[in-house]
Structure 1
């Protein structure tokens, strides 16, 4: 017959309750403590971002203003290049709109309400992922033009370019609308509008990284390498043609390198942060990874300036219409025209 001492049973029950309360309090404390650590500012990171974003805002405004003047007011004919550039230009302008607020938040808390913060986030991610998609479409268009020159006339047209851009816009807006209306947004902190301060792993960040950045990156690398390989195999008819091909290869390599510089660190950072958050490691390591992602986001903003250099200025139509520096660009126009004919 099992006879237990009532005092012993009560003592064991009380001990279990105390242990449960202690563990719960420790978990709450650790969670709160980790959240406080994530909210701590890193002066070195903030100074770097303030300097970088200020430069991006100044030069991005200058370059994109020139692009607006040419593509919107000087060009008359719609080409595949103009369609893609107009979409890329719009996405860059969305980024420029957010930069003053992002520069301010490197030193201060975000002063406006959550609705305005959400609008700024939307505009920022519009540039990031729509810009990646448009750059990928440009690469595919170049690949088709060079790899299949005999069929390029039927595969490429301004209407098809506009349709491809329209599909990208539709997918982006549908995805963002689903995320805004159909998911839990309690992880957001409007006072730190552009920073993730929660330690909770976000599947949305992983999805956007994989489908919005990594897959387009693979496509871009494939198209670029195929373009380079095809041009190197092309039989050169003259020394001038050989020089033009070498210039085109250099342009493709530069575009690819800049794309990887801007977006590869951000993609790696987002994936690593998701993995580390999923396994719940030390809070200070999470903070270090979060700071890295924050810096990588600043580097990705460089595309606002570099898009102008690497895409607008290699377009034959741009140089034909950019009459701001007629004496200076006469030879460049001829060079760009020759390169575009390859």
Structure 2
């Protein structure tokens, strides 16, 4: 299980290098904008700051992940578990916050009058705080369980046991697949609502098309980043539960490892999809009562 796949390692070191470079630039710009240029704590700013924090967790782990693709792990299990916790903060917290952003847009467009009371900075901060506390608690529980039962390993950031992990399945189903369904529903409803809106001018029609393009792009990138990983985790759990073929298990682990690398693109694409279009989305969708977001 701990034998390396050179092709996978080359792909990952190349991908992670690009993600680290672009992610550092984009997220540094986001820190500058959200920490020093924006003074008022709005719903959008709170969501973006939470998303930014989770992306920074991933960026912190990338040098160690690149090291682990080329060298045996000699930094100890405790440090490996801590780094993996930072990594998974990005994966699942990002999914949860992106889902909240989609729900926020859905509520503002579908229920514009009720959104005045539902969309408040305090409620947004509370929702983000709950998400962070839940996943921090889950990771602490997982770390304690691993350190009690595991021995030193030469590999980090990769599953090294053939035993199916039930916790991983639960996280995939409830932390990724369920939010994905919610995101698809909210995005679809937003698009349908915008398409049904009566156009009164050419400019308004252009604004609607641009807003629809933003929603579609956000959804497409979310699926690109997280659908392969979610599918891979479920398939791996099924194969490990019913098969004892070591070569097949190793193959699906390589596939999941590649899918994890692809999901890391989210760290860069968050900036493009949310930091730079959030303001434009709300300014361009002038078809409904405006809200300070």
* 1:199 equivalent in structure 2: 162
Q: 1:50 aligns to what? A: 13
Q: Deviations over 1:269-325 (max 9, x none)?
A: 001111111113311111110000000000000000000000000122xxxxxxxxx
Taking structure 1 as reference, are residues 114 and 182 closer, same or farther at Cα in structure 2, changes over 3 Å only? closer
219-228 vs 173-182, greater mean Cα deviation: 173-182
Other-structure match for 2:27: 64
What is the CA deviation profile of residues 200-226 of structure 1, one whole-angstrom value per residue up to 9, with x for unaligned ones? 111111011011101111110010001
Query: Is this contact kept in 2: 1:117–1:190, CA < 8 A?
Result: no
The reply on whether 1:339 has 2:288 as its aligned counterpart is no
Instruction: Give the secondary structure class of the aligned counterpart of 2:70.
Output: coil
Q: Secondary structure at the match of 1:311?
A: helix
Deviant stretches of 4+, over 6 Å? none
Query: How far 1:341 moved relative to its partner?
Result: 3.8
Alignment match, 2:133: 170
Residue equivalent to 1:253: 216
The count of aligned residue pairs is 287
Deviation at 1:340, TM superposition (A): 5.0
- The equivalent of 1:290 in structure 2 is 253
Structure 1: state its 5+ residue gaps: 1-37, 317-334
1:227 paired with 2:172, answer no
- 1:190 is displaced (CA, Å) by 3.7
| Cα distance change, pair 147–292 in 1 and its aligned pair in 2 (3 A) | same
State the Cα deviation string for residues 93-112 of structure 1 (Å, max 9, x = none). 00000000111111111221
Structure 2 residues not aligned, in runs of 5+: 288-293
TM-score w.r.t. the length of structure 2 is 0.94
RMSD: 1.5
- Match of 1:97? 60
C-alpha contact 2:68 2:155 (8 A) present in aligned 1: yes
Instruction: Determine the C-alpha separation between the residues in 2 that align with 1:172 and 1:47.
Output: 31
Cα gap change, 1:191 to 1:135, in 2 (>3 Å): same
* Greater Cα radius of gyration, structure 1 or 2: 1
State the distance in 2 between where 1:183 and 1:44 align.
Answer: 29
User: In the aligned structure 1, how far is the partner of 2:67 from the partner of 2:144?
Assistant: 29
- Mapped pair 1:125 → 2:88: yes
CA deviation string 1:241-274 (max 9, x = no partner): 1111111110100100100000000001001111
Report if aligned partners of 2:19, 2:268 keep a CA contact under 8 Å in 1: yes
Offset of residue 238 of structure 1: 1.6
Structure 1 residue corresponding to 2:116, chosen from 120, 145, 153: 153
Q: Secondary structure in 2 aligned to 1:106?
A: helix
Is the deviation greater in 50-59 or in 112-121? Answer: 112-121
Q: Does the CA contact (< 8 Å) of 1:315 and 1:340 recur in 2?
A: no
